[in-house]
Structure 1
Amino acid sequence: MIAMIADQFETFLFDLDGVVHLGDEALPHAVDSVNRLYEREKRIRFLTNDPRPTRETVASRLRELGIRVDEGEIVTAAWAAAVHLRREGVATAAAVGSEGLQTELRQQGITVTDESPDAVVVGADEQTTYADIRRATRHIDRGAQFIGTSPDGAFPTPDGPAPGAGAIVRAVETATGTSPTVVGKPEPLMFEAALEGLPVGQNGVVIGDNPATDIRGAHRAGLTGVLVADETPVAASARDFAHPDAVIRSLAGLFSRTATPWKSPDYSWPEDIRPGVGAVVLNESGEVLLLKRADRERWALPTGTVERGEAVVEAISREVREETGLRVTVDRLTGVYSHPKQQVFSYPSGETVHFVTNCFLCSVDGGTLEADRDEALDVGFFDTDRHPGGILPMHPRWITDAVEGTTVTIA
């Protein structure tokens, strides 16, 4: 017998608006389905990106709908931000947003102050003003950590969309030129806070109505994602983290449908996609130029990104010259590579980028071979079929395609 979703998982993380209720009204089958999970002694958490209410306020609203929820099962963006700061050992913080946000910070032992705070937590409510944005900007300029409660630029209302916390977060980001640590969905920090105190390795599932925040966030956190929707959305690729593991029309589907458990791939979800260039540079002896990159301490072909206003041929010539001191002639395009398994890179800064790399076969045209210490630890020429140990895994393929191929390779 095939196990239903309600039987497959022990921990259930529910989005609220659009899943459990719509406005002030419970959605069909929602209350009965959640209470059936309680009867089965499932662990339940309710997640919202709204940074305005306290957890007790949200719990009270759910109890009015008939769900027997405890305050400790509520995860708001404000509470998750406070938990994150507590984990980081932050003692003082300024707050942009509601009294509920300030309450959650204080309950985690964080002093709310505008006197040289260690951090600034940016949310939003109906009273947020230009003065609040200016206040946050000045604290960050003086060295305070920048924490954003939610990335949501807007939220729906009966009268149309209203600016969300993400709109204020981006205003502060623009003013400071500083990227925030964002806590709310789809960032993993929200889900990590939700799972705090639960048994390690708990089998968990996220139930949401938004593929971009609920499902993508679940997958970034290593959790299965079930979408509540009338139809299955069409993703650009089956590898898109927003592609749900199951689709149900209402929460009653937890007891009649099954989900394929999420298996995290061996790459992170990228925040950005960029054009890249790579060079297979051969000398007169037919040896290939490799450098040991300082950012990874691994051997690699010369690679880089395309700058604004720059042709790809100009970009690869510049990258080779800057990294190795050599001038090259670009002979031909040998491959275009974009598969995420090989072309998604996570950097120490926390940034994750998906590159679409145009690779060229090049020949040496002059210059003196030397390593740029900002980019490379070592540089030299090697046999094309005998590479040094520790070379980036996709680069042997690129070398083979360039040396042996007669047509452009696309992978």
Structure 2
Amino acid sequence: MVIMIADRFETFLFDLDGVIYLGDEALPHAVDGVNRLYEQEKQIRFLTNDPRPTREAVASRLRELGIRAGKEEIVTAAWAASAHLRRKEVATAAAVGSEGLRTELRQQGITVTNESPDAVVVGADEQTTYADIRRATRHIDQGAQFIGTNPDGAFPTPDGPAPGAGAIVRAVETATGTSPTIVGKPEPLMFEVALEGTSVDQDAVVIGDNPATDILGAHRAGLTGVLVADEAPVAASARDFTHPDAVIRSLAGLFSHTVTPWDNPQYSWPEDIRPGVGAVVLNGSDEVLLLKRADRGQWALPTGTVERGEAVSEAISREVREETGLQITVDRLTGVYSHPKQQVFSYPSGETVHFVTNCFSCSVDGGTLEADQDEALDVGFFDTDRLPSEILPMHPRWIADAVEDTNVTIA
């Protein structure tokens, strides 16, 4: 039995501009498509990264087009940011942005103030000034949480692109040196907030027109993503999170197309790809050097990143010296590893990085073995045939490749 998209899911999260309407006009089949879903008693949410309007204003616009949307079905970046602060039990906030943003904050029970606020919510509108950016910078410097409504650097206008909230957020980030919590698409927070109040035991699907926000955001949140477009985009990688699970030309396709639901991989989508180095350091007894990492509580090989202006061999020698106190000789390259399941790491800051790691076989050349307490809980040499059970899962493979002394492994 063939199951169409409309029948497979119970909750539908729609982007607005480019999916429901374009400018002041509803797109073909959009009104009929959404209303058919209402008739089937589907749960519907409308999502927009625009942080300026209130939910009621967006709902009113949809009703004018013929879609019977209620305020509670609208998820704007401003409302999502406000709901996020409410979940965090934040009592006071300063706002950089529209009166709509301030309205949404107040409706969540958050007092809008510039007197020692608990948080600063940075959005944007046409009246945003340098003084607003300066005031937000001062609050964050004094300890206020930094929330960005959405990351969009620009939005289209008839006269060309105009600065979006993301441009203002980045200005404050540059001034403070502090990374914000971003709420809007493609961040998972937008979708988590949107799904509050829906039947969480039912699958949800995201319908959008932008692979970099709607589809990427859906997949980062573990949801199926359907793209509204004339043709499928070409993804650089088969694992690219921006690649849609299905492509439809209009919302009529919800009732004529099938989709294979998103199968969430066992790694997060990285914001960055960086060069890494790893060392299989062997002593005179052919034992391997391991350290118990303070951040993960697992045994691991010495690893690190290549800094600017640094050769790879210099990087691995520095990392071993800093982490264990030993001086080493870099003997040979044994492997290059990059599989995302093992080489994507998320940090407490929220940053997620995919490392391409060059691993080397090394020998001890001097120094005194001692763990860097900022990096490691313990350090020592282990028999390569009797490694500790609590070891990072990819490192036994790296050790085996180095000990076998065969061709360089690329994985």
For normalisation by structure 2, the TM-score amounts to 0.99
Per the alignment, residue 94 of structure 1 pairs with: 94
Instruction: For residue 87 of structure 1, report the CA deviation from its aligned partner.
Output: 0.5
Instruction: For residue 114 of structure 1, report the CA deviation from its aligned partner.
Output: 0.5
Spell out the pairing of 1:138-177 with structure 2 (5 A cutoff).
Answer: 138-177=138-177
Distance 1:283 1:55 in 2: 65
Q: State the SS of the aligned residue for 2:184.
A: coil
Letter in 2 for 1:204: A
Letter in 2 for 1:365: D
Per the alignment, residue 124 of structure 2 pairs with: 124
Distance 1:45 1:246 in 2: 19
Instruction: For residue 7 of structure 1, report the CA deviation from its aligned partner.
Output: 0.3
Per the alignment, residue 364 of structure 1 pairs with: 364
Letter in 2 for 1:229: A
Per the alignment, residue 340 of structure 1 pairs with: 340
Distance 1:322 1:330 in 2: 15
- Percent identity, aligned pairs only, is 88
Instruction: For residue 199 of structure 1, report the CA deviation from its aligned partner.
Output: 2.0
- Please list the CA deviations of residues 291-314 of structure 1 after superposition, one character each: whole Å capped at 9, or x if unmatched: 111111101000011111111100
Going from structure 1 to structure 2, the CA distance change for 1:31 and 1:405 (only over 3 Å counts) comes to: farther
Q: State the SS of the aligned residue for 1:380.
A: strand
- Please list the CA deviations of residues 148-192 of structure 1 after superposition, one character each: whole Å capped at 9, or x if unmatched: 001000011121111111000000000111000000000011101
Per the alignment, residue 53 of structure 2 pairs with: 53
Distance 1:294 1:394 in 2: 18
- Please list the CA deviations of residues 195-218 of structure 1 after superposition, one character each: whole Å capped at 9, or x if unmatched: 011122221000001111100100
Letter in 1 for 2:367: G
Distance 1:23 1:405 in 2: 64
Instruction: For residue 284 of structure 1, report the CA deviation from its aligned partner.
Output: 0.9
Distance 1:304 1:230 in 2: 44
Spell out the pairing of 1:98-247 with structure 2 (5 A cutoff).
Answer: 98-247=98-247
Instruction: For residue 385 of structure 1, report the CA deviation from its aligned partner.
Output: 2.1
Letter in 1 for 2:232: T
Instruction: For residue 133 of structure 1, report the CA deviation from its aligned partner.
Output: 0.6
Distance 2:348 2:388 in 1: 24
Distance 2:202 2:98 in 1: 33
Could you list the structure 1 runs, at least 4 aligned residues long, displaced by more than 3 angstroms after superposition.
none
Distance 1:320 1:153 in 2: 40
- Please list the CA deviations of residues 327-353 of structure 1 after superposition, one character each: whole Å capped at 9, or x if unmatched: 100011111111100000112332211
Distance 2:146 2:258 in 1: 41
Per the alignment, residue 393 of structure 2 pairs with: 393
Distance 2:383 2:143 in 1: 50
Instruction: For residue 396 of structure 1, report the CA deviation from its aligned partner.
Output: 0.6
Distance 1:163 1:296 in 2: 40
Per the alignment, residue 267 of structure 1 pairs with: 267
For normalisation by structure 1, the TM-score amounts to 0.99
Instruction: For residue 403 of structure 1, report the CA deviation from its aligned partner.
Output: 1.3
Distance 1:369 1:138 in 2: 45
Unaligned runs of 5+ in 2: none
Instruction: For residue 269 of structure 1, report the CA deviation from its aligned partner.
Output: 1.3
Distance 2:143 2:364 in 1: 47
Q: Would you say 1:283 and 2:283 are equivalent positions?
A: yes
Q: State the SS of the aligned residue for 2:233.
A: coil
Instruction: For residue 129 of structure 1, report the CA deviation from its aligned partner.
Output: 0.8
Distance 1:311 1:102 in 2: 51
Distance 1:166 1:53 in 2: 16
Per the alignment, residue 292 of structure 2 pairs with: 292
Letter in 2 for 1:280: V
Q: State the SS of the aligned residue for 1:169.
A: helix
Distance 2:294 2:142 in 1: 31
Q: State the SS of the aligned residue for 1:370.
A: coil
Distance 1:132 1:324 in 2: 48
Q: State the SS of the aligned residue for 1:93.
A: strand
Per the alignment, residue 74 of structure 1 pairs with: 74
Q: Which one is further off, 234-243 or 295-304?
A: 234-243
Per the alignment, residue 254 of structure 2 pairs with: 254
Distance 1:199 1:300 in 2: 42
Distance 1:348 1:219 in 2: 21
Q: State the SS of the aligned residue for 1:72.
A: helix
